[in-house]
Structure 1
Amino acid sequence: MAMFTLLLSILVLPADTVTGRIVDTAGHAIPQAIIEVAELGTSVTTSADGTFRLSVAPGRYTLAVRRHGYAPVVREIVVAAATPAELQIMLTPSAFQLEPLTVTATRQPLPSQSSPLPVTALAGAELRNAQGVSLAHVVEALPGARAISTGMQIGKPVIRGFGGPRVLVLENGSRLEDYSWSDEDGPSVETAFVRRIELIRGPASVLYGSDAVGGVINVIPDQLPDAGGGAGFTRTGFMLSGATNNVEVAAAGQAEGATRNFGWRVNAIGRGSSNLHTPDGELDNTGFGALNGDATGGWRWASGSNLTFRVVHYGGEFKLLEANAAPGEAGGPERKAGDNRIQITGQRPLGGGAWRLEGKGQLQAHSLIEVSDDSTGTESEAFNLQLKTASLDLLLHRGGTTFGMTGIGQTNDASGREPIVPDASTISAAAFALQRWSLANGRWAVLAGLRGDAQRLSAHQNDSLGVAAQDRNAQAWSGNVGVVFMPASPVSLTLNVGRAWRAPTLFELFANGPHIGEARYELGDSALKPEVGGDVDLGLRWNDRRVRFEISAYYNKLSDFIYVTPTAAFIDSLRVYQYTQAEAEMLGAEASVEAEIARGFVARGRLEAVGGTNLAAHEPLPLLPPRRAAVSVAWRDRLSVEVDNYATPTRLNPLDVPTEGYTLLNLGGGTDLRLFGRDMRLDISLRNALDERYKSFLSRYKEFAYDPGRNLIIRLSSGLID
């Protein structure tokens, strides 16, 4: 039996009101099961007798049914206008919590097993246990994902060795713009309230354009509540947490409700901490404070149309450990990040429901400020960067076909005493098409797409950087073909071939000054070409009720790979590093397995390795993650033990700082409680339980500080934050 029941047989229901009942294998009702209508972004919860009710317009829909302790079910239905009819859906017990659908791989719902792209998701208990202030550190729980860290509060995601501007971060399908070249600037996303995080390992420019060379991270918020045609309601939730290492505290609140055809949600969270501690002692100037939140409201109409507005704020002040600072010295550099977004999404059925038009619009204002001492010892702004972006996506869906157009306008304003990049503006536009086929009674699944992009960058004159006013035009195409072959259940074979690209960043083009946080002087090159990569990915998957296994191997060849290299010149006693280009290659493999070894006991294991070479210089690419292996055993969602091993890097770039390998022990536990008339969840985790003294190869502090020591985290939640 497959690990989760995949029912893709088409049910024609003579109704525009879908009702049903969710039961177990014995026919008993399952309360609190969640039924999601993926195309509409809506969900309902079953009542005590296992029943549910959905009001939808005639058309084709994908239902995803999930409940903790059961394998999720995917069912495709066609709703026709007539008298109501009822569904009965059976869930089977399972220790696995595999996400049944992916929306990132095709920009519309697709069963995860049918995706030739290597897509994984973090949700449920695994997402809850990985929670933190940094998105990059949260997704490290997924295969192929790592983080370049600046302490515990700032991280940049790395996918298969690619990081910075080669990894694209989305929030509910809308791209987030930031200063990806900056090591101390992480994605401006709060993870406390999200439903799941999907990760594409490998190029995805055919769907998302520039920057998706290494992969894509899509942070997906929970769907708005739906009254289901019944009475209105309001629900609340909260979360309190504390951590011992840096005395970190967090408090979050959430409220949501629905009435008639309107649903709404408000989230808010505050976080703060003192200094980090390592087995060697305290690290000065490493605390932070953050305040994040969002508000969402949306309408759904009987015609099948919907419209949603969302306002998001992300902001914080993050202190940075200063290299070679005297112990106990007060003050130090500090980053102030702020991000405000207004998002509008909507969709409308066309042609009697055969077509679906989807639109996404976003206005984003992103700021990055560093405060540090100037030459006189007075604290002032080292730089102040303001990025403003407007984007619009139009998507047209019919069955397995998607056509899309996207446009982006962006301005960058820079000020402060240290030159970083010139003021500039960018306009880009793209069009793409994607097609899915299911052949031979579902044994073959094919996905193919093609995209064309055009971009115009206008840089303003900046005498301090030596930049003359100039315009740069770039055109690029991307393509992807993938195949899934299922010779017999539960085995599937995958092959994916893709082409991706990215435009050079402003820093790579126009840098002319000391790099923040690095003892070097960097020079950009305004003649840099767009970076282009071609990828081949092979995979083998096994999915049944008791065992899940996946192994993948990949090869990526990049032309005009952009990198920085030292020169013989010095400016202000700093060695000059010059941005240049060359051919490069990246190859690696990932394997993961999970198995139910006894009732309620699940064992997991993973192994991943990546290597890369600069083919012009005949040397390894810099800062590639070392081999990682992890094994864990968990009893339901009550107890867990994990051993995480990181190997000593052996293929080092001349610029790399070597570190030793290490092994970490992580413990976890949790229980459900009933307090003050509410259902609550208590989670406790102990990270680096043995207080291991180590330096991560991907830490920016590794030359002068150890990584954090033992950390006990306690979290109490109730209601909707799970």
Structure 2
Amino acid sequence: MKTAAVFPSPLCLAICLSLTAYGAHAQDTRHDAQTSGVHAQDLDAVRVTANPFGSTADELSRPVEVLSGERLDEVRAGSLGETVAALPGVQSSNFGPGVGRPIIRGMDGPRVAITSGGLSSQDVSTVSQDHSPAIEPFLANQIEVLKGPSTLLYGSGAIGGVVNVVDGRIAETPVDGATGRAEARWNVGDTEGQTDMFRLDAGNGGLSIHADGVYRDNGDYDTPRGRQGNSYVDAKNGGFGASLSGDWGFTGVSVSRFRDEYGNPGEPGNPAEGERGVWLQMAQDRYELKGGLNDPWGEGSGLRYSFAHTDYNHVEWEGDEPGTTFDKRANEARVEATFDFGDGWKTAFGVQGGKSQFQAVGEESFVPRTDTQAVGVFAVAKNTWGAFDADFGARLDQVKYDTATGLSPDFKPLSVSLSGGWRINPQWRLTANVDHAERAPAEEELFADGPHIATLSYEIGGNALKKEQANQAELGLQYRNRWVDAKVSAYYNRYNDFIYLVDTGNQWYFDEEDEYLPIRQWSQADAVFHGFEGEATFHLLQSERGGDWDVRLFGDTVRARLVDGGDLPRIAPGRVGAQLHWHGDAWRASLGATRTMKQDRVAVGETPTDGYTFVDAHLAYHVDAGSTAWEMFIDGNNLTNQDARVHTSFLKDDVMLPGRNGAVGVRLFF
């Protein structure tokens, strides 16, 4: 069994000391909002890179959330899903601490795109619930969450939303001098272990160099009912980048490596008898080229291009014996041109294409080798007329599969969208969105045929599956003044030919002891998703002597059912939460509670899940020292030691969330 270290690694200490020395002597060092420990940041004013016009979050009519600066530092976790789960309408899947994929408004898997700088992460996390996304949240500058259909810019795999991670490895603007950060944190309580990271950006005003790295070593965690066996995580990730930039634009390259090993707590083995459980060993190498030109066709125009090649591999070990191996090789490219046509019209046209080969070899190779080719063209336009603004867009894709079994289906998803906003007065803004989005079925939905141990079932694909179609309408209301920032939205999404896994009632026997797996078939039926979400921050007190006091309230709920009757499985339960936040000159602190409701609206054969309340707290002390800054912090989670299970997890009946736990650490900025 993996044992987590509880002291700083020599590598981390060396990195911290070297960065301190380098930062103290660097000339023209400048801090930016992503890495400097800025005390106050209006996240709605942060530029959303996943939008072609470079709009800020508060300028967009579509629902967007941005995590950056101090807020991102407070919620960073070992998985991408956990990191974004504090946002309204967003939760995380769970297959132990090594796996957490974002769930947006009840949508997950192949309906939620995970991108790095606008290009797909190209892992196999959509194929099975025990596969982790190849994304390291501790290396993110900024994380953007686009809720609802985002197929216009990112294709049919974004019918439920997009989580875009901005890592900044390829600098788009000149870096003059050196900036960076380092962090070391040690877990305490029911989760022992440590996480170390560093980031360095240096340049001479034209050439910019970047380097980053993360080391995570967490052992098995404790729950209120005992140790959760085989729940360890061991990760080593990092990257390098270089770019040339100036008033003309930028061009650059980067290379990154993702190495991750984690246990499957659903199959812990028997350590008392020397039997190791099931564990996964993941490796991904990624190479990227990105660039852009400013004003190539006149003022207000732009051209951006990007390309990524990804080599992905992971092995599912059964004790000391290798089980199934998953391989994926992928190339993806994107070109996007923006124009200013005058009279307030801004437009963007683009083309995106990719080619990948996926195969699984071993006992759990329930999906055949599949070659996928996809290409899409899109156009969007935006204008503002006084207090009104509107966005229009359309996209057409072609997705073609070619399998080792001879099946070669192809699909042509079409998506159109209209969104608008009305600035009623300086405080109030009303937004509305109407979308028609289509999705091509994923490989596992089409071609599965075999035992899938992660879902404890024998899965059969639907070779005759049609395109999935979503028609969504959404209304949003925002209010902002000196004392309150608030927003609320309600949405209704009607799916035609929604794809889901149906229990057939039959069984597949696989040994002489009459052990069996239920047979489940990927099928289609019409479905409805509807819900609401809201968030409000009240600025109770703003005082130079007493600090700033804020209260944040939030809540979300989603209801998902089949039109002909019956609930859909593993739908995230509703939540409500509150957080009190105080910010002084050097100190900041927060105390919050989140109530996750029980989920008893379940599908046939699915068990309900009890609700629970998590109480969390954060405390940090920030010190500026010339060209450097230090921050010491303490985080506490599940302080009341609640029993908690994740309803969206296939392991919820066997795996609990950690009990009372926390972390202490130090951050260095320069």
Matched, 1:633 2:577: no
Matched, 1:388 2:361: no
1:301 CA drift (Å): 4.1
**Residue 622 of structure 2 corresponds to which residue in structure 1?**
672
**Residue 146 of structure 2 corresponds to which residue in structure 1?**
200
Secondary structure at 1:620 match in 2: coil
Counterparts of 2:240 and 2:612 in 1: how far apart (Å)?
42
1:656 CA drift (Å): 2.1
Describe the shift of the 1:161–1:225 C-alpha distance in structure 2 as closer, same or farther (beyond 3 A): closer
1:535 CA drift (Å): 0.9
TM-score (norm 1): 0.82
Counterparts of 2:652 and 2:30 in 1: how far apart (Å)?
51
**Residue 92 of structure 2 corresponds to which residue in structure 1?**
147
Describe the shift of the 1:366–1:604 C-alpha distance in structure 2 as closer, same or farther (beyond 3 A): same
1:430 CA drift (Å): 1.1
1:679 CA drift (Å): 2.1
- Amino acid of the structure 1 residue aligned with 2:339: R
**Residue 130 of structure 2 corresponds to which residue in structure 1?**
184
**Residue 170 of structure 1 corresponds to which residue in structure 2?**
115
Contact kept in structure 2, 1:278 and 1:706, CA below 8 Å:
yes
Contact kept in structure 2, 1:225 and 1:257, CA below 8 Å:
no
Contact kept in structure 1, 2:174 and 2:207, CA below 8 Å:
no
**Residue 528 of structure 1 corresponds to which residue in structure 2?**
465
1:45 CA drift (Å): 7.6
1:711 CA drift (Å): 0.7
Describe the shift of the 1:502–1:715 C-alpha distance in structure 2 as closer, same or farther (beyond 3 A): farther
**Structure (1/2) with the larger helix percentage:** 2
Residues 665-719 of structure 1: CA deviation (Å, up to 9, x unaligned): 1111000136899521111111001111222323443212332101121121102
Secondary structure at 1:685 match in 2: strand
Describe the shift of the 1:646–1:259 C-alpha distance in structure 2 as closer, same or farther (beyond 3 A): same
Matched, 1:588 2:520: no
Describe the shift of the 1:368–1:324 C-alpha distance in structure 2 as closer, same or farther (beyond 3 A): closer
- Amino acid of the structure 1 residue aligned with 2:145: L
Residues 177-206 of structure 1: CA deviation (Å, up to 9, x unaligned): 222031111221111122211111100101
Residues 112-150 of structure 1: CA deviation (Å, up to 9, x unaligned): 222111111111111101112200000002111001112
Contact kept in structure 1, 2:527 and 2:560, CA below 8 Å:
yes
Choose from 437, 441, 446 the match for 1:509: 446
Counterparts of 1:227 and 1:449 in 2: how far apart (Å)?
29
Name the Cα RMSD after superposition.
Answer: 2.4
Counterparts of 2:452 and 2:208 in 1: how far apart (Å)?
47
Matched, 1:693 2:663: no
- Amino acid of the structure 2 residue aligned with 1:391: E
- Amino acid of the structure 1 residue aligned with 2:426: S
Gaps spanning 5+ residues in structure 1: where?
1-43, 53-62, 72-95, 374-378, 462-468
Describe the shift of the 1:702–1:418 C-alpha distance in structure 2 as closer, same or farther (beyond 3 A): closer
1:433 CA drift (Å): 0.5
- Amino acid of the structure 1 residue aligned with 2:56: P
Matched, 1:424 2:370: yes
**Residue 134 of structure 1 corresponds to which residue in structure 2?**
79
Choose from 326, 347, 359 the match for 1:413: 359
Contact kept in structure 2, 1:335 and 1:370, CA below 8 Å:
yes
Choose from 593, 599, 602 the match for 1:652: 602
1:369 CA drift (Å): 1.6
- Amino acid of the structure 2 residue aligned with 1:628: R
Secondary structure at 2:445 match in 1: helix
**Residue 68 of structure 1 corresponds to which residue in structure 2?**
38
TM-score (norm 2): 0.88
Counterparts of 1:393 and 1:663 in 2: how far apart (Å)?
44
Counterparts of 2:102 and 2:415 in 1: how far apart (Å)?
23
Residues 507-533 of structure 1: CA deviation (Å, up to 9, x unaligned): 111212111223321111211112111
Contact kept in structure 1, 2:419 and 2:431, CA below 8 Å:
yes
**Residue 576 of structure 1 corresponds to which residue in structure 2?**
519
1:333 CA drift (Å): 0.2
Residues 540-580 of structure 1: CA deviation (Å, up to 9, x unaligned): 00122321000000001111111111123222132211111
Secondary structure at 2:400 match in 1: strand
**Residue 312 of structure 1 corresponds to which residue in structure 2?**
256
Choose from 288, 300, 310 the match for 1:364: 310
- Amino acid of the structure 2 residue aligned with 1:603: V
Contact kept in structure 1, 2:551 and 2:581, CA below 8 Å:
yes
Matched, 1:609 2:557: yes
Counterparts of 2:29 and 2:151 in 1: how far apart (Å)?
36
Matched, 1:484 2:429: no
Contact kept in structure 2, 1:535 and 1:556, CA below 8 Å:
yes
After superposition, where does 1:453-492 map in structure 2 within 5 Å?
Answer: 453-461=397-405, 469-492=406-429
Contact kept in structure 2, 1:519 and 1:574, CA below 8 Å:
yes
Secondary structure at 2:72 match in 1: helix
- Amino acid of the structure 2 residue aligned with 1:380: E
Residues 26-59 of structure 1: CA deviation (Å, up to 9, x unaligned): xxxxxxxxxxxxxxxxxx9869xxxx9xxxxxxx
1:418 CA drift (Å): 2.8
1:226 CA drift (Å): 8.6
Secondary structure at 1:351 match in 2: coil
**Residue 8 of structure 2 corresponds to which residue in structure 1?**
none
Matched, 1:543 2:480: yes
Which protein, 1 or 2, shows the higher relative CO under an 8 Å CA cutoff with sep ≥ 6? 2
- Amino acid of the structure 2 residue aligned with 1:333: V
Contact kept in structure 2, 1:298 and 1:306, CA below 8 Å:
yes
Describe the shift of the 1:524–1:601 C-alpha distance in structure 2 as closer, same or farther (beyond 3 A): same
Describe the shift of the 1:518–1:70 C-alpha distance in structure 2 as closer, same or farther (beyond 3 A): closer
Contact kept in structure 2, 1:251 and 1:269, CA below 8 Å:
yes
- Amino acid of the structure 2 residue aligned with 1:145: V
Counterparts of 1:164 and 1:268 in 2: how far apart (Å)?
27
Secondary structure at 1:165 match in 2: helix
**Residue 554 of structure 1 corresponds to which residue in structure 2?**
491
Gaps spanning 5+ residues in structure 2: where?
1-27, 341-345, 510-515, 543-547
Counterparts of 1:147 and 1:214 in 2: how far apart (Å)?
14
Contact kept in structure 2, 1:246 and 1:287, CA below 8 Å:
no
Choose from 586, 592, 597 the match for 2:540: 597
Residues 233-273 of structure 1: CA deviation (Å, up to 9, x unaligned): 23443210111223121122222200141111100111111
After superposition, where does 1:2-401 map in structure 2 within 5 Å?
Answer: 68-69=38-39, 96-104=42-50, 106-179=51-124, 180-222=126-168, 233-244=177-188, 245-302=190-247, 304-323=248-267, 326=270, 328=272, 330-348=275-293, 349-372=295-318, 379-399=320-340, 400-401=346-347
Contact kept in structure 2, 1:148 and 1:700, CA below 8 Å:
no
Number of equivalent positions: 620
**Residue 449 of structure 1 corresponds to which residue in structure 2?**
393
Contact kept in structure 2, 1:323 and 1:704, CA below 8 Å:
no
1:97 CA drift (Å): 4.5
Describe the shift of the 1:310–1:324 C-alpha distance in structure 2 as closer, same or farther (beyond 3 A): closer
Secondary structure at 1:285 match in 2: coil
- Amino acid of the structure 2 residue aligned with 1:631: A
Contact kept in structure 1, 2:44 and 2:56, CA below 8 Å:
no
Counterparts of 2:366 and 2:172 in 1: how far apart (Å)?
47
Matched, 1:565 2:565: no
Counterparts of 2:150 and 2:645 in 1: how far apart (Å)?
32
Q: Structure 1 residues 538-547 or 667-676, which shifts more?
A: 667-676
Contact kept in structure 1, 2:268 and 2:278, CA below 8 Å:
no
- Amino acid of the structure 2 residue aligned with 1:613: R
